Amino acid sequence: MGFCRYIESSTLVQAHPQPERAIETRSFTMKGGPVWQVLSCVVLFLISITWPATPAAGVTMRADLTHVDRDRGFTRSELVTRMLSRSRARAASSLYRRCPSFHGHPATAAAAPATSGQAGTEYLIHLAIGSPRPQQVALELDTGSDLIWTQCASCIICFDQPSPRFNPSASTTIRTVPCSDPICAKSIDSLCTIRDHTCFYLDSYVDGTITVGSVVRDTFTFKGTTTSGDVVVPGLSFGCGFYNKGLFGNDSGIAGFGHGSRSLPSQLKVGKFSHCFTSMLDPESKSSPVFLGTPDDLTAHATGKIKSTPMRRNPAIPANNYYYVSLEGITVGDKRLPVSPSAFAINNKDGSGGTIIDSGTAITTFPTAVYELLYKEFVAQVPLPVVANSSEAGGLPLCFAVASAADADKVRVPRLVFHLEGADMDLPTENYMALIDGNQLCLMLNGLEGDLTTFIGNFQQQNMHIVYDLDNSKLFFVPAQCDKL
């Protein structure tokens, strides 16, 4: 049963039923300690209210994605270092998901020192909120959480962002959310003010990042597809953050794409969403598209066959927002690694393990035992000397020495195949090998000691149209020219 948590406070957010009145934030205190500490809970009666938040039937929305490190002047080696650090941190955060007393999310993860000052996920989604003049926001796209939130202009504690913060007073369509609204009542991260029963949220992440703010509803504007104009959707709920502390880059908040009811796909009631990541290490690469709804034509600009595999939930952790798939094995060259499918499966007792297809992990990360087999097989099959210390190549565990980029192009690299349930993901070479600093050819895979979870990262998903079919619990994928979609 859903619930909200009450606090003894002065009014946090002034309720404004009239459209011309703006959201107002006020200081407040909490009995028993700071707002981010664990709160006592009481059960509320759930009273339904209706706020249309569904676009016209059949309409597909589009948004642009940009990589968090795009146009920031990093060398290829620095880009890989940052991607690897974020990937290790995000994978390490999966250790926390099995602790019943921990309610943080892994979008920004527990982490390595190298992640200091970095965003927690890999791609930013660009959309607009409010009316009559929609305000642009850039949010971290995260398939591992469900809350949508952005910093607001009236924030008390804020992190730096390159664009103006969202200004609630400039929107005539913004509304506060009462605690009886299911979007508030069903979330363990939502709380309630005593005076006017309006909803606010408190969300924490495992690296100590915290966001607190008002839960509001407003109009979102998305691009249409090539056959339609902009799509305007009223009444979507999101967090208007006024206390925001953590590691962020070019973004203003997070857009949850996970299973939860607060996520963007869930609120839009779309049966599918998809993304197609352009090349990550190409400085000339265009932005990547994300589609909310059924793509116009999945075969458009496809360069291979459409395949599918079942998506699964974690039965031991129902609140887990990640999308799981069944990985059954791995082939390097012509040799299938001697690994049982159970090495990639979810432990139904404690929720550990499993294989996650993830937008927020850059480099695919395996349990240590699996990665060691991959390492040995690539060493055996690649006819190049191994670099003794590859720390200068982004910290990747396995790199091979080459004389030049031209020589690297001549190397016969063994194929890499992920055997998913019912479908093989046969990766192109550029999705798992990368030339770093002109003289090291590196395997873009990683191992993590202490956890049994496998994360299929977005470097391995480059130039592949990935469709999350939520209605049928299937993942479709097809090689594609993402920069032409």
Contact 309, 420 (CB under 8 A): yes
Q: Is 358 a catalytic residue?
A: yes
Q: Which of 146, 207, 358, 451 is catalytic?
A: 358
For residue 100, give Cα distances in angstroms to 97, 103, 146, 383. 8, 8, 18, 48
> How many other β-carbons are positioned within 10 Å of the β-carbon of residue 45?
7
Contact 200, 190 (CB under 8 A): yes
Task: Enumerate long-range contacts of 78-81, CB under 8 Å, 24 or more apart.
Answer: 78/394, 79/280, 79/281, 79/394, 80/281, 80/393, 80/394, 80/395, 80/396, 80/434, 80/436, 80/442, 80/444, 81/114, 81/394, 81/395
By CB atoms closer than 10 A (0-12, 13-18, 19+), residue 22 is: middle
User: Taking the alpha carbons of 245, 247, 249, 254 in that order, is the dihedral positive or negative?
Assistant: negative
Each as own residue / partner, the long-range contacts of residues 165-169 (CB below 8 Å, 24 or more positions apart, any chain) are 165/252, 166/129, 166/130, 166/135, 166/137, 166/240, 166/252, 167/130, 167/135, 168/22, 168/23, 168/130, 168/216, 168/240, 169/22, 169/23
Cβ pair 252, 139 in contact under 8 A: yes
Catalytic residue among 142, 189, 203, 451: 142
To which residue do tokens 């020495």 refer? 401
Residue with tokens 């598209």: 289
DSSP string spanning 77-140? HHHHHHHHHHHHHHHHHGGGGG-TT---BSSS-S--GGGTT--SSSEEEEEEE-SSSPEEEEEE
Q: Which residues lie below 8 Å from residue 122, measured CB to CB, with a gap of 6+?
A: 67, 68, 83, 86, 359, 360, 361, 362, 458
Nearest to 220 by CA among 50, 20, 62, 15: 62
32: number of Cβ within 10 Å: 11
Query: Strand, helix or coil at 169?
Result: helix
Give the residue numbers marked as catalytic.
142, 358
